[in-house]
Amino acid sequence: MKPKRWAVRFAIVFVILALGLGGSAPSQSRVPDVHYEPTPQLIVEEMLKMAEVKRDDVVYDLGCGDGRFVITAAKKYGARGEGIDIDPARIKDSNRNARIAKVQDKVKFTEKDLFETDIREATVVALYLLPELNLQLRPTLLKDLKPGTRIVSYEFDMGDWQPDKMGRIGQKRFYFWVVPADVAGKWRFSFPSGKGEEQFGLSLTQKFQEIDGWITTPVSTVSPLEAYVIGDRIGFLLRYQPPGKQVEMRFSGRVQGNTLNGFVEVSGGPFAGKHKWTARR
């Protein structure tokens, strides 16, 4: 006996809806932004050396391909790692390669859009993307990564964020950055003198790891010398001429939010020696 036409039509509509073909179109995974091409193993190893990877590091590879970067970090240095890739075939390859290398207890691979990935745990981040993707990712790297986190990129740089180091093998280049702490703004600190505690002002401007500015001393306003910020470490040299002998003050410290803590080594004057130093923004 033939089924009734309305029953056949109902069955077809039910199948269409069940397959997600009725109404709005189904959501689809985003197509990979980069054509897959593995980083040469020799360069992977040189990038890991440049980043000075250690056992206690957490290495993220954004666009991990076959997983070789985090797998090598785990096998050679004992580091933990996570690879992110939007292509399920690459995740499958990575998991297989981790089993072969016997490091599956130290690494994991996640099928995900790298722009939607929480990277705050990373202490080392590896990239092999495209110049425009590096620039698109740069604000997230600077905002979400802890100061001192190391970033390495094969082939492509970060625009006007100049690398701290650069390597080359043949015609191939790779780049290295350290995420700098945010130190821009006005800081205040005091220092003992013959008149008691005297106030100093430190005003800093910043472009990535490059800093500049001026210091207001009790007798003048001068520019700091040899100023640097590397991760959460900051330092600068102050020379000024209070009444009497010229004083040289070499500051070094660590950035903790709106506080700088460290030491200042003083040459010249009655307070020569090494002293604790704290500044607040």
Tell me: do 218 and 237 sit in the same domain. yes
Residue 19 confidence (pLDDT) above 90 = no
pLDDT per residue as tens digits for the range 195-254:
788 999 999 999 999 999 999 998 899 999 999 999 999 999 999 887 777 899 999 999
Residue at 14 is within a domain: no
Last residue in a domain, options 178, 193, 220:
178
The owner of tokens 């076959």 is 66
Please indicate whether residue 160 or residue 28 has the higher confidence score (pLDDT): 160
What would the mean pLDDT of 248-264 be, rounded to a whole number?
97
The answer to whether the beta carbons of residues 55 and 78 sit under 8 Å apart is yes
**Domain total of the chain:** 2
Where residue 29 falls among pLDDT bands split at 50, 70, 90?
low
Residue 8 confidence (pLDDT) above 60 = no
Residue at 21 is within a domain: no
Tell me: do 143 and 264 sit in the same domain. no
Residue at 36 is within a domain: no
- Give the pLDDT confidence score for residue 30 in this predicted structure: 60
- Give the pLDDT confidence score for residue 245 in this predicted structure: 78
- First-to-last alpha carbon distance for the chain, in angstroms, is 86
Question: How high is the mean pLDDT of the chain?
Answer: 89
C-alpha to C-alpha distance for 242 and 174, rounded to whole angstroms: 48
DSSP track, 51-75: TT--TT-EEEEET-TTSHHHHHHHH
Q: What residues make up the domain containing 216?
A: 185-280
Quote the percentage of the chain above a pLDDT of 90: 79
What would the mean pLDDT of 177-182 be, rounded to a whole number?
98
Residue 263, both tokens = 């030491």
Last residue in a domain, options 135, 155, 178:
178
Residue at 158 is within a domain: yes
- Give the pLDDT confidence score for residue 3 in this predicted structure: 42
CATH code for the domain of 272: 2.40.128
* Secondary structure element (H or E) that encloses residue 109, with its range: strand 107-111
What would the mean pLDDT of 120-145 be, rounded to a whole number?
98
Tell me: do 71 and 150 sit in the same domain. yes
Residue 46 confidence (pLDDT) above 80 = yes
- Give the pLDDT confidence score for residue 196 in this predicted structure: 81
C-alpha to C-alpha distance for 148 and 207, rounded to whole angstroms: 16
Tell me: do 206 and 133 sit in the same domain. no
What would the mean pLDDT of 265-274 be, rounded to a whole number?
91
C-alpha to C-alpha distance for 278 and 262, rounded to whole angstroms: 6
Quote the percentage of the chain above a pLDDT of 70: 88
Last residue in a domain, options 113, 145, 178:
178
